[in-house]
C-alpha cells in the first residue's frame, strides 16, 4: 500500500518551519563607567642605591688560656650574657698552686735569714765599737811609753779584724735583702700564674661561641670562646666600585633589618678602599644604634642617597597584578586600555614606572569594579 506524497511534504514543511531561529534583537550600547584619573608626569626622585650586608660586632674578643692545663669547669654557654670580670672557665690549678706555695716558702726562708743577718751585723758592730775604744786607749798608753809596740800592733790588728767582720755582716745583710726582693717577685709571679687558672670575661657582652668542655686540655692561645660587646654593632655591606665616589664617610644611612622588622638610622664610619677582585666591590662599615635585639650574622640592607633623578611616577592604587605580570589601565579616547608596566622603586603612594607608560597618559585610579581593557569610561574630575 502506497503512502500519499502530499501529506509527507506538508509534514516536512511544518518541521522545517519550527526549527528556524527567531530574529535577534538589537542591543543598546552600555553607558560609560565614570572614573577618575591621574596624569603621568616626570618628577625628581632621590637616587637611592641599596646594598646588602651582614651585621657584625664592633668589638669582640676571643677567649684563650695563658697557661696550659686541663679544664675543670665551664661556667657559660653560647648565648649567655656575661658581665665584665665574670669567671667563665676554671682550669686545674694544683700544679700552679704548688708553685705558689714553693715561692711563698722561699720568701719566708729569705726573711728568716735576714733576721739572722741583722743579728750578726749588730754583733759585728758591737765588736767593732769595742775594738775602736780599746785602740784609742792603747794609743794613749803608747804615747806615754806605757806599752810596747808589739802590744799596740796586736790591738791595731784586732781593730782591723772587727772592721772587716762588720763590713762582711753588712754585705751579707744587703745580699739577703736582694734575695727577699727576688722571693717577693717570685711569689707575685706565682700568684699571677695561679690567677690564670680562672678565665674571666674582659667586658660585658654575649657569648657567641663556646669551643671547650670540662676535661679538655687548654693550650696557651687556643680559642676557648668568643664574646661580643653589648650595644656595639655595625653593618658591613659590599658596594659596587662604580658607586665609590657617591659614598662619604660620616653620612647618615637608612638601614633595614628584615629579621627585626625595623628600619634604623646608621652612619658610615669606615670605607675600605681595597676592591675585592671577585665581587668588584668595596666594603663600607656602618655603625648601628644600640638595640638589644641585634646579633652578629643578621642580614641588613643599607640605602645610600646619591642625589636625584627624573622618573615617571604612577599611583600604587592603579596597579593590577596577575602572577608576575603587573598592569594598569589608562583612559584613551573614552576607552580603558591596559598597559603592562615594569616597576622600579616605591615612594609613598607612588611607584616608578620603568617601562609601559609615557608622560601625559591618564592612569585610572582607583579602578572601579568591572572595568577592564576595552571598557568605555567617562573621566570625571
pLDDT for the residue numbered 24: 47
pLDDT for the residue numbered 11: 43
pLDDT for the residue numbered 29: 59
- Mean pLDDT (the chain) is 83
Q: What angle do CA 288, 293, 294 make, to 5 degrees?
A: 40
Per-residue pLDDT of 155-177, as tens digits, reads 889 889 988 988 888 888 888 88
Grid cell locating 109: 726562708
pLDDT for the residue numbered 116: 82
Question: What's the average model confidence in pLDDT over 332-339?
Answer: 88
Distance of CA 356 to the CA centre of its chain: 44
In the chain, the domains with their CATH numbers are 33-44+311-379 (2.40.420.20), 50-58+231-308 (2.40.30.170), 68-92+197-228 (2.40.50.100), 94-195 (1.10.287.470)
- Quick one: pLDDT band at residue 87, thresholds 50, 70, 90? very high
Share of the chain above pLDDT 70, in %: 92
HEC per residue, 207-251: EEEECCCCCCEECECCEEEEEEECCCEEEEEEEEHHHHHHCCCCC
Per-residue pLDDT of 277-334, as tens digits, reads 777 888 999 999 888 788 888 999 998 887 777 888 888 888 888 888 889 899 888 8
Sheet holding 69-74, edge to edge: 198-200, 87-91, 69-74, 217-218
- Quick one: pLDDT band at residue 235, thresholds 50, 70, 90? very high
pLDDT for the residue numbered 255: 93
Amino acid at each position: 500500500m502506497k503512502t500519499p506524497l502530499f501529506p509527507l511534504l506538508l509534514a516536512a514543511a511544518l518541521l522545517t518551519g519550527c526549527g528556524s531561529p527567531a530574529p535577534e534583537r538589537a542591543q543598546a550600547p552600555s553607558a560609560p563607567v565614570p572614573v577618575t584619573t591621574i596624569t603621568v608626569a616626570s618628577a625628581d626622585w632621590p637616587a637611592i642605591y641599596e646594598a646588602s650586608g651582614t651585621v657584625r660586632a664592633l668589638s669582640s674578643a676571643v677567649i684563650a688560656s695563658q697557661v696550659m692545663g686541663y679544664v675543670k669547669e665551664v661556667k657559660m654557654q653560647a648565648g649567655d650574657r656575661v658581665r665584665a670580670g665574670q669567671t667563665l672557665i676554671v682550669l686545674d690549678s694544683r700544679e700552679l698552686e704548688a708553685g705558689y706555695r714553693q715561692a711563698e716558702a722561699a720568701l719566708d726562708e729569705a726573711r728568716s735569714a735576714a733576721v739572722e743577718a741583722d743579728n750578726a751585723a749588730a754583733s759585728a758592730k758591737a765588736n767593732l765599737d769595742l775594738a775602736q775604744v780599746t785602740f784609742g786607749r792603747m794609743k794613749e798608753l803608747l804615747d806615754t811609753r806605757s806599752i810596747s809596740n808589739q802590744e799596740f800592733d796586736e790591738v791595731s790588728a784586732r781593730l782591723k779584724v772587727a772592721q772587716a767582720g762588720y763590713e762582711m755582716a753588712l754585705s751579707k745583710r744587703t745580699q739577703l735583702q736582694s734575695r727577699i726582693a727576688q722571693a717577693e717577685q717570685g711569689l707575685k709571679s706565682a700568684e699571677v700564674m695561679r690567677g690564670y687558672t680562672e678565665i674571666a670575661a674582659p667586658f660585658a657582652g654575649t657569648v657567641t661561641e663556646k669551643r671547650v668542655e670540662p676535661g679538655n686540655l687548654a693550650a696557651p692561645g687556643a680559642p676557648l670562646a668568643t664574646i661580643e660587646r653589648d650595644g656595639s654593632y655595625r653593618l658591613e655591606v659590599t658596594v659596587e666600585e662604580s658607586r665609590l665616589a657617591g659614598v662619604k664617610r660620616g653620612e647618615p644611612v637608612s638601614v633595614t633589618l628584615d629579621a627585626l622588622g625595623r628600619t634604623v638610622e646608621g652612619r658610615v664610619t669606615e670605607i675600605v678602599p681595597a676592591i675585592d677582585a671577585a665581587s668588584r666591590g668595596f666594603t663600607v662599615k656602618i655603625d648601628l644604634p644600640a638595640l638589644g635585639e641585634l646579633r652578629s650574622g643578621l642580614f641588613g640592607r643599607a640605602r645610600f642617597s646619591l642625589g636625584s633623578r627624573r622618573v615617571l611616577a604612577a599611583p600604587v592604587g592603579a596597579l593590577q597584578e596577575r602572577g608576575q605580570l603587573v598592569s594598569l589601565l589608562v583612559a584613551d579616547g573614552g576607552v580603558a586600555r591596559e598597559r603592562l608596566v615594569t616597576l622600579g622603586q616605591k615612594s609613598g603612594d607612588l611607584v616608578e614606572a620603568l617601562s609601559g607608560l609615557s608622560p601625559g597618559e591618564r592612569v585610572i585610579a582607583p579602578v572601579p569594579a568591572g572595568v577592564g581593557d576595552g571598557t568605555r569610561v567617562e573621566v570625571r574630575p
